[in-house]
Amino acid sequence: MKVMRLKIMLIVGGIGFLSFLGLLAFVAIFISNEEHPSDNRDFIHDIGDVSVSEDVLKHQPMVEKYAQEYGISEYVSTLLAIIQVESGGKVPDVMQSSESLGLPPNSLDTESSIKQGTKYFSDLLRSVEKNGGDINVVIQAYNYGGAFIDYVARRGSQYNFELAENFAKERSGGSKVTYSNPIAVKKNGGWRYRYGNMFYGATRF
């Protein structure tokens, strides 16, 4: 009996020890993965006070080049955030700036898109500064067009969501579409007017 009990204790002890080794291996792998995350194109990077993906981050040198050319180097983070929102950096016309030149959507190559998008942003910025507006007016106007700057200027010059919402309501004739963005869901249950994106400036990037 004593021999049998000893064998059972050895077997149980061996199983327990192997389980312990397995647990250690799992913990080691987990820690290793945490310290050395795998290369992932969708990995999010913090740039200043915004977060962008790898696909967007690769355009940073070109954004910096044209931001410097147009005298708005302090807005590189905002321009990268616009790329994140407009295309995620996954199409050639990364800033979706073709239409600001009167061209069909997605007509520009990547460098032309960044050059034009940066120039357009700088033009909007200068216009807003003349009217005493704030950066969120510029951001929303990038989506709505320059007419939004005049619309806000006639109503106090400062951005607020109600102005962006009313502008879209007027331009769309009150027509609505479903919009599942978390900001929209939190704000109104998940819809926007069928004109631009009234939440564009509300994100504050």
The per-residue pLDDT for range 67-82, each reduced to its tens digit, is 999 999 999 999 999 9
Rounded Cα distance between 25 and 43, Å, is: 26
Segment 48-71 shows an average pLDDT of: 92
Q: Name beta bridge partners: 36.
A: none
**pTM over 0.85, yes/no:** no
Q: Are strands 176-178 and 191-193 parallel, antiparallel or unpaired?
A: antiparallel
Q: Are strands 50-53 and 191-193 parallel, antiparallel or unpaired?
A: unpaired
**Residue-level pLDDT at 202:** 75
The per-residue pLDDT for range 134-187, each reduced to its tens digit, is 999 999 999 999 999 999 999 998 999 999 999 999 999 999 999 998 889 999
Q: At what angle do helices 76-86 and 110-130 cross, to 10 degrees?
A: 120
The per-residue pLDDT for range 113-128, each reduced to its tens digit, is 999 999 999 999 999 9
Domains of the chain are 37-127 (1.10.530.10), 131-205 (1.10.530.10)
Cα distances (Å, whole numbers) of residue 118 to 53, 97, 129, 176, 177: 19, 9, 16, 30, 29
